[in-house]
Amino acid sequence: MFDPATQDADRPIFHIKIINGNTCQEMTHSINATAQAVRSHATHLTTVQPKSGPASIECYYDEYLAIPGILEQIVLDTDSDAFILACWGDPGIEAAREITRRPVIGIAEASMYVANMLAAKWSVVTTTHRVRDMVEKTVQKTGLGSRCASVRTTDLAVLETCDRTTTIAALIDMGRRAIEEDGAEALCLGCAGMSGLDQALEAALGVPVIDAVAAAVKMAESLVALGKTTSKQLTYRPPELKPIQGYPDYMQPQGLQK
């Protein structure tokens, strides 16, 4: 972990690990590209993907099967100063905060905080219609429901976001409806696969559009620079000791580094 004492005073190096929520390598690369472009000079940043889990997260089943692999990326890490969960849904973030003191930031919450500082009301534009309930629950768990004008879904599957032209067109269409019909004054891009599209959308729509990955990188850098660590007071205490069948030793509560 980051120890100011052993670093060059002028240029400390923060290590931030981004964990793509799914197992699609192309998306891992795209997330990494966005993140590297916005990181500060003092940040060393790596993007990984879980060894197990779905190629994309588009329903609760996908999400729940993704979480053990996401958590494994934290359990096995001893170098990073902070973690970013790169799936708009912040899957498993409460558990992630239990297994490490190092800050864990979700790209969903990060994008909402940024939107909240730029606009009176904002909307989330995202992928396929069926994720509406998941997205609404993510807004609720972050606590910002009263500032969210709407959740707007499209016909896009997560992996179809790799087709940038189609994706931009769909997001412009839904973004416009969010602005005109729902009163949105900024937009959160509600999928890690939409990373890198914010500027094209801002040009088309004329409102701030938040790239959730980029937002999370700055939030992670902020928390590390402030020297803050996750509260171990109650909810996020380390897991209680007990055997967890079918999982490797390093995933057992007694094996977790504290």
Footprint of a copy of itself on residues 142-171 (CB under 8 A)? 142-147, 157, 159
Stretch touching a copy of itself by CB under 8 A, among 25-33, 160-168, 188-196, 246-254: 246-254
Residue ranges in 175-194 that form contacts with a copy of itself under rule CB under 8 A: 179, 183-186
Among the listed residues 33, 76, 117, 203, the single contact to a copy of itself using CB under 8 A: 117
Contact by Cβ (8 Å): 181, 151: no
Identify residues 16-45 at the interface with a copy of itself (CB under 8 A): 23, 38, 40-42
Q: Which is nearer to a copy of itself, 1 or 61 (CB)?
A: 61
Sheet containing 122-128, strands listed edge to edge, beginning at the edge strand earlier in sequence: 148-154, 122-128, 187-189, 209-210
The answer to whether 104 and 97 are in contact (CB under 8 A) is: yes
17, 48 contact by CB (below 8 A):
yes
| Nearest partner of 21 among 75, 68, 78, judged by Cα | 68
Find the shortest distance in angstroms from Cβ 176 to a copy of itself.
11
Answer yes or no: are the C-beta atoms of 86 and 158 closer than 8 Å: no
Considering only 36, 168, 169, 218, the residue that binds a copy of itself (CB under 8 A) is 218
Choose among 115, 48, 117, 53: nearest CA to 84: 48
Which string of x and - marks every residue 57-96 that binds a copy of itself (by CB under 8 A)?
-xxxxxxxx-xxx-x--------------------x-xx-
The nearest distance, CB 53 to a copy of itself, in angstroms, is: 6
Neighbours of 190 (CB within 10 A): 29
Q: How far is the CB of 89 from a copy of itself (least distance, A)?
A: 12
